[in-house]
Every structure is written in C-alpha cells, then in structure tokens.
Structure 1
C-alpha cells in the first residue's frame, strides 16, 4: 500500500531565483469562505536549506524575516 502511495508523490525541488506562490495558512476575519484565495502573492526564492526550509523575498527585493516550509509553496510558471 505504501509503495502505491509513494509512486504518486511528485518530488519538488526548489532553487534560488525560482518564482513561487505561498499558501495562505491563516483564516482572515473577512475571509470569503470557500471563495477565499488559496495562495498569496508571488515570491522569489533567495536561499534553500536542507530539510525543506526556504527564505523568500518579494518581487521588489525586500526580504521576509521568517523561514517558510517547502510544503507551503507551489512553483509559478509564467
């Protein structure tokens, strides 16, 4: 059973300078329920650490203070 599950898992590799979308993890008080956005704005990967930790920067170059888990990111293909 585990082998069948693992066959469907797609490994995602992130590199610096990749464009990604960050998943919204909090529920805002003015959220629209199931019509709320699933992902935040566009970010650029600055640095990738082992274990899945990633430092993101905004498109204008300002750096975020927190590390982000790779599970909360999705690659963006322009």
Structure 2
C-alpha cells in the first residue's frame, strides 16, 4: 500500500473489483451479477482454483452453454426481485426520514424567508446572497 496519493491509479482496478463484487444494501445483489448474470471470478480463484472453477472447467462445451443459458434465463427474475427489494428499501428510508420532518402550515400574510437558488431567474451573479430577507405570503399553493 502506498502512503502518498500518487499511486492511486495502480489500485483503482482492485477498488473497482471490490465495489462491483460487493452486495449492495439497497438491492441485496452484486452489480456484476445483475449485469452479467454470473458471479465474478476473482483473480485469486484463477491462480488457486476453487470448487466452482474446477466444476466449470470440467464441463464440455454443450453443458457449459446449457448452464450459461439457464443462468441468463434467471437473470430477469433476479432483476425483478432486486427492483422489488430496492422499492421496499426506498420506502423504509423515506419513512425513517419523514419521522424527523416537522410539517409547518403557513397562513396568508405570514412572514417567511425566501431562498434564491441558482436555477431561479432572480439569481444575479456569483456573489449574490441566497436570501432577500422576509417575504410575505400572498397566496397559499395547494398541495
């Protein structure tokens, strides 16, 4: 491992391999598996073959093609399960976030602070303030 940051490009391939072969919390699956329909073979397994690699190496071409076709047929099912799980995960995260949100009701004539975001027309240059003091509510927008 290098102490300085000059050799980061040498370790990038290992970092990407680790990222792509680690199961995500939101999907319960590895990104590599969802894309290719097959678990990854890490470089160590090439040098020191695991049982999975040995069994796959002993298959003849017709059996390997059949096994691969079955894996690819199951990939759509895995993707659908992943979509369902990520939807449930998103709902759980939203529920946890919404527990801390305090709803506020504003009445007509009440003073509030108005923020100006960069994508609005009222933005005037790089150093302009992001608020212009109190703003009186003239009309309540329906939800």
| Band of TM-score, shorter chain | 0.3 to 0.5
Tell me which protein shows more helix as a share of its residues. 2
Query: Rg bigger for which structure?
Result: 2
Q: Could you state the TM-score of these two structures normalised by the residue count of structure 1?
A: 0.47
Tell me which protein shows more strand as a share of its residues. 1
Q: Could you state the TM-score of these two structures normalised by the residue count of structure 2?
A: 0.28
Structure scoring higher RCO (CA < 8 A, sep ≥ 6) equals 1
